[in-house]
Amino acid sequence: MKKLLFISVLFLCIQAAFGQAKTVTGTVKSKSDGIPIPGVSVVIQGTNNGTTTDFDGHYSISVASGRTLSFSYMGYETQSIKVESQQKIDVGLSESTSKLDEVVVVGFASQKKANLTGAVAKVDVKKALGSVPITDITRGLQGTTPGLNITFN
């Protein structure tokens, strides 16, 4: 009976030791040129726990051994790394041009192509305005594109 009790307590102690979270740090860089990438999402898979890299590409996150960290950033391939005994994990992300196809830049912001409502038009200023002397670019663009409404205060 004592042996069974001893083995049970030993098993519970081992489980508690392996299940504890530890702090993992590292740097995320671009594989192609080695430049640190700020704003990379570092998430523990299967949870909502995560962080982002700072301006120099550094991150710090508390994670238990055996869990998987997922590193993702727009324009780069997502990479997953399983945490074992390491306390420092440096990651190199590969560029992915196929994921940039889903993004449309609108003014000073960006949206996914699926979420874009409305029209996006491109104006060739050199062709539309040519050598017409104008003092204000917004007044010059008026009438060059169908549906473009410009109001002046």
120 DSSP assignment:
-
CA distance 56 to 39: 9
Query: Looking at the predicted structure, is the pLDDT value of residue 19 above 70?
Result: no
* Confidence band for 90, pLDDT divided at 50, 70 and 90: very high
Backbone dihedral region for residue 33 (phi beyond 0: left; psi -120 to 50: alpha; all else: beta): alpha
Q: What is the mean pLDDT of the chain?
A: 78
* Confidence band for 133, pLDDT divided at 50, 70 and 90: confident
pTM strictly above 0.75 = no
Give me the mean pLDDT over the 28-36 stretch: 91
> What pLDDT is recorded for position 1?
67
In this structure, the dihedral spanned by the alpha carbons of residues 7, 12, 13 and 15, taken in order and rounded to 10 degrees, is 120
